Amino acid sequence: MDPEVLKSYLPRYAEAFLLTIKIGWLGIALAFVIGMLSAFVIHFRIPVLKRIAGYYVELFRNTPLLVQLFFIYFGLPKVGIVISAEACGVLGLGLLGGSYMSETFRSGLEAIPAAQKESALSLGMSRGQVFREIILPEALTISVPAIAANVIFLLKETSVFSAISLMDLMFTAKDLIGLYYDTTEALFMLVLFYTIMLLPVSILGSIAEKTVRGKMPGQ
């Protein structure tokens, strides 16, 4: 492995890293919003919307991100909807992640005992107060481990963005290998930057999970 080659590759990987981080976290933020809304619709059995949300979750959980990106980036322009590569990456990741986050949040909501809600209502709290002050905070707390796992999963999925010509980490690695044939150096830098991106999230997720478990009854 040539240190000079690694040094020369560093600026390109740093630029690709920032782009990957930007699109990844914007997609994850969108996934949180979509997932939470879908979970509420399904959990509270809102007519019509519940069925739509259910179809959405099943569709996006059971199709690969690459297929979804191809449909958004190459398919939608056929009907006059043109989306930039970056926006496509954010939207695709957000829709995929939203389907997983929806199930995560829904499981958290359903894990709260009905007796706990009834007790709060019997104390004079309104349904809105019960939801805001008891159900939502507790559901999010229960969901922390699964949320952390979903975030790591979605950051890993950014590796397919190169298929729509986004100059992310994977695109940069493939481009440099094709140009200079320094395969070992290019792949080493790819692994290094993905580790830099994912390791802090994994560590923070583990800490959050231990904290949450410590606060749960019986722990």
* pLDDT value at residue 213: 65
Cα 188 from chain centre: 25
* pLDDT value at residue 218: 47
Per the structure, the complete domain to which residue 95 belongs is given by 3-215
* pLDDT value at residue 166: 86
SS3 185: helix
Look at 167 and 118; give whichever has higher pLDDT: 167
| Selection from 164, 117, 121 nearest residue 136 by Cα | 117
SS3 139: helix
* pLDDT value at residue 216: 56
- Above pLDDT 90, what percent of the chain? 48
Mean pLDDT confidence for 126-139? 80
CATH for 70: 1.10.3720.10
The packing angle between helices 3-43 and 169-180, to 10°, is 150
Say what the pTM is: 0.87
Token pair belonging to 125? 């709290």
**Taking all residues of the chain, what is their mean pLDDT, rounded to a whole number?**
87
Q: What is the separation, in whole angstroms, between the first and last Cα of the chain?
A: 49
Mean pLDDT confidence for 174-182? 87
Checking if the pLDDT of 28 tops 80, the result is yes
pLDDT tier at 55 (50, 70, 90 boundaries)?
A: very high
Domain count, the chain: 1
| Of 3-7, 13-17, 112-116, 188-192, the least confident | 112-116
